[in-house]
Structure 1
Amino acid sequence: MPSIRGCTLATCPIEASIYEYRLSLPANAAFIGLFGLSGLIHLLQLLVLRSNYAFSIPILLGCIGEIIGYVGRLILYNNPFSIDGFLIQICALTIAPAFFTAAIYFCIADIVRLFGCEGTSRLKPKQYAWVFIPCDIISLVLQGLGGGVASVATRRQEDGTAGVNIMIAGLAFQVFSLLMFILLLAEFFVRVYRRGYLWREVNGYEIKAGSGAGGIGRTALGRLYIFFSAFSLAILCIFIRCAYRVAELSHGFDGELIREEAPFIGLEGV
């Protein structure tokens, strides 16, 4: 990254800035609003409805991280030469989605319990968290460590390649663990579909859907399918986003892809 200390829009051309263009104010402000609204909804669910803490708290942390990251991008909008703004957004937006995947890993346990794991899931409900949460923690530690190393190097105007490579390692590990999770989830859904009905455990017995106190009615099933569609879409989007970030950072802070805002908005934000 070239030296930009002391530069402002009045003294240096925009082409000399970190991204070489003026970031979009509407897009970044919109993402702050969307993640803020999402975080507020989950906070209300947590406080009022006493929703699942293992799901809601990681979602809240992820939303806070995203908001911090986009605030960093607003700092860059006001001052495209701000190293602080750049480091805030690159670190926060890289790390935040790890909290979303943690929420997903906790959520799948409830899904497997609902459908019954006998003959459908390779892992028992609790084992999903036992296997994938440590993977998420490893990814989070690597990304945070890499971001810290890169930040220190950038502030000192030194080569931040080592830090970037550590961040890439964390992201790549997250992509790999997500891929394994997606394969297990796909197999689970295929097996449930082939079985053709839904189980629910009641008082130690497995009850078929619609067959008594443990049954799940048609309306509830319809809502479940909508939820599963959104759940699967969320996983796919996070996977695509992580793969994009690996590609973006593979050429360091001076790469071409990191200076393209349209792919960032489409693949990172949306």
Structure 2
Amino acid sequence: MDRQQLEIGCHAKIEGLDTSYGYVPTLGAGIAYCVLFGISMILHTFQFCWKRTWWASVFSVGCLVEVIGWAGRTWSSECPYNSTAFLMQISTLIIAPTFFTAGIYVILGRFIQVLGRESSILKPSLYLWIFCTCDVISLVIQAIGGGLASGEASKIDGNTAPGTHIMVAGIVFQLFSITIFVICAADFVRRCLRLRLLQNLDGSAIPLFAATILSVICIYIRSIYRTIELSQGWSGYLITHESYFIALDGAMMIVAVAVFNVLHPGWLLPRNVAASKREAPSVDDVELNHSTEHK
């Protein structure tokens, strides 16, 4: 039986013949993450419909894409050579976090509106436009690279290197853009603490603030992992050891999105912009207070 027949059919692992993964995906992990992301998707759909926070549908869409990806890995656990299952999971699991970051951009922008312009180096609307644009560009580059690499992989002695390099360039650009976002978010947190802006938030908004920070950290860890993984190539250590993928992609993403099921922005996101802006102290006020205290 040749390689092409293996890729279009469903055949168990053959001793001495490697799969595209370098291993056979674990069935239990695939099912578990399909269930977890499926539950989160159902909850997010119910929550954004109930509170009519339609923009929060991005979390549901992201979960759906994750379910499709992990379904592909579940399929691969039974049919490890099937190329459709492999491409199904690799394309969707790269795209899915983009929907989660889009939701975070909206949440952060709302916090900036509430706490005042002095809380951020960027205007609230710029977070969505700049970083979503960067995400789309990186995904297009990755899609082009992935398409070229997969096309060569299906050929005998095909050269996957050019496509892989393009794909890596896309994910490096994505890591660069999310690093800039993390720096901006860290500066936002620093300003909030320095100017004591969090005192102007309702008590219910503080947990959402913390949830957003946790989600950003998880997505950033996953981005660093995927960048290193793909830069090592299709036969690298990280990409051929499933435990890293389960922990640093799957687990990070379920925490990043499920935390908003527990602390949903539809319930907790502050709404009273005008009042908060009036109450928020300016930089001059804080410096004046500090100098008065020292005297």
TM-score band, normalised by shorter chain: 0.7 to 0.9
Equivalent-residue separation in structure 2 for 1:96 and 1:197 (angstroms)? 33
Q: Any conservation in 2 of the 1:248–1:257 contact (CA below 8 Å)? A: yes
Among candidates 234, 241, 244, match of residue 222 of structure 2:
241
How far did 1:32 drift?
A: 0.8
1:23 aligned partner: 25
1:114 equivalent to 2:117? Answer: no
1:183 aligned partner: 183
1:43 aligned partner: 45
2:287 aligned partner: none
Equivalent-residue separation in structure 1 for 2:101 and 2:171 (angstroms)? 12
Q: Any conservation in 1 of the 2:71–2:89 contact (CA below 8 Å)? A: yes
The 5-angstrom pairing of residues 145-184 of structure 1 reads 145-157=144-156, 158-184=158-184
1:232 aligned partner: 213
Among candidates 9, 13, 19, match of residue 12 of structure 2:
9
The 5-angstrom pairing of residues 44-83 of structure 1 reads 44-53=46-55, 56-83=56-83
Give the direction of change, closer, same or farther, for the CA distance of 1:20–1:138 in structure 2 (3 Å limit): closer
Deviations 1:62-109 (A, max 9, x none): 212211111111111001121221111111111211222122112211
Matched residue type, 1:253: W
Give the TM-score taking structure 1 as reference length. 0.83
Give the structure with the higher percent helix. 2
- SS of the residue corresponding to residue 144 of structure 2 reads helix
Higher relative contact order by CA 8 Å / sep ≥ 6: 1 or 2? 2
1:33 aligned partner: 35
Which stretch shifts more, 15-24 or 88-97? 15-24
How far did 1:57 drift?
A: 3.0
Give the TM-score taking structure 2 as reference length. 0.76
Q: Any conservation in 1 of the 2:22–2:241 contact (CA below 8 Å)? A: no
Give the direction of change, closer, same or farther, for the CA distance of 1:132–1:59 in structure 2 (3 Å limit): same
Matched residue type, 1:9: A
How far did 1:151 drift?
A: 2.5
Equivalent-residue separation in structure 1 for 2:179 and 2:197 (angstroms)? 27
Deviations 1:95-151 (A, max 9, x none): 211222122112211011121122x21111112222212111111211222222222
Aligned length: 245
Matched residue type, 2:12: L
Equivalent-residue separation in structure 2 for 1:87 and 1:117 (angstroms)? 44
Which stretch shifts more, 257-266 or 155-164? 155-164
How far did 1:237 drift?
A: 1.1
Q: Any conservation in 1 of the 2:22–2:235 contact (CA below 8 Å)? A: no
